[in-house]
Amino acid sequence: MTPPHIHVNIVTFNLLNKPSRWRERRFLIADELAQIQPDLIALQEVALPDNNAEWLASRLGHYSVHVCSKTGPLEGKEGIAILSRLPVERVRTLDLRTQHRVAQLVQVRQAHQSVMVVNGHFYFHVVDHIERVRQIQHLLGWLDHHTRRRMPTIICGDFNDTPGSRSICLMRQRFVSAHAARHGREPDYTCPTPLRYQLSTVRTTLSRLGNYALNRSFAPWRGTVDYIFVNPQVHVVECKSVLNRPAPHDRTLYPSDHVGLAATLTLA
């Protein structure tokens, strides 16, 4: 008799750690997540100490909240978080060593199966930077030490790097991108959205200048930097962009400057 499939639904999403328009944006985020009903939500740029991840969990109901703060001068000011409706078996934190960035590991249980979920927000630089590659190498070595062989593993977050970069190629040596597995390619973009907020004009100007320096184009840069990766013990049923629509009453109001990704997965 074939055992039933064990399903896990997960969303990864960068909240944008800027107070500008958060009180408007948060209801767009909560309402769409309530429709998706994910088992797990991986969040980046969580605002601390106010803890908007805690606000989302309270609004949605029935999630445990596991926050991991950045280090150094950013400790207690910004972090990442995993919200879980599944029983949590253990939690670990990894210092990514540069830019005060961190990753977190949360082991959950779905039915009789343990699942490793990793959430990270990696080195920011406009070019394919070696420090981001080192962070990924550090993460993969850490996983080898903390995970059992053949345990279903999901790694997601804001990698701050595009599909052809060294860090993403390094991830693909051991993991499969859920969106590419389902659609044969990554999303057209996950950042930035047309969200208009305080300093967004400055960001657009810098984006134009950076894109000109790299690609000789004054068009604002737009690309894919957010991913959900899985190991061979996880099968991708679906993966799609979410949290990517403006408010019905305001075409400049989006949930964030990032698009979210939602995946439906089954466990081997």
Q: Sign of the C-alpha dihedral, residues 183, 188, 191, 195?
A: negative
pLDDT(30) > 70: yes
Q: What pLDDT band is residue 217 in, cutting at 50, 70 and 90?
A: low
d(CA 168, CA 164): 7
pLDDT given at position 59: 98
What's the order of all strands across the beta sheet hosting 78-84?
64-69, 78-84, 40-47, 6-14, 260-267, 234-242
pLDDT given at position 168: 98
Cis peptide before 163 (omega within 30 of 0): no
pLDDT given at position 82: 98
pLDDT given at position 60: 98
Nearest to 159 by CA among 189, 124, 193: 124
- What mean pLDDT comes out for the span 176-184? 98
Pick the CATH number of 6-267 from 3.90.1720.10, 3.40.50.1460, 3.30.360.10, 3.60.10.10: 3.60.10.10
pLDDT(208) > 70: no
User: What are the tens digits of pLDDT across the range 87-118?
Assistant: 999 999 999 999 999 999 999 999 999 999 99
Question: Does residue 180 sit in helix, strand or coil?
Answer: helix
pLDDT given at position 98: 97
User: What are the tens digits of pLDDT across the range 243-267?
Assistant: 999 999 999 999 999 999 999 999 9
Are the CB atoms for 261 and 199 separated by under 8 Å? no
d(CA 190, CA 253): 16
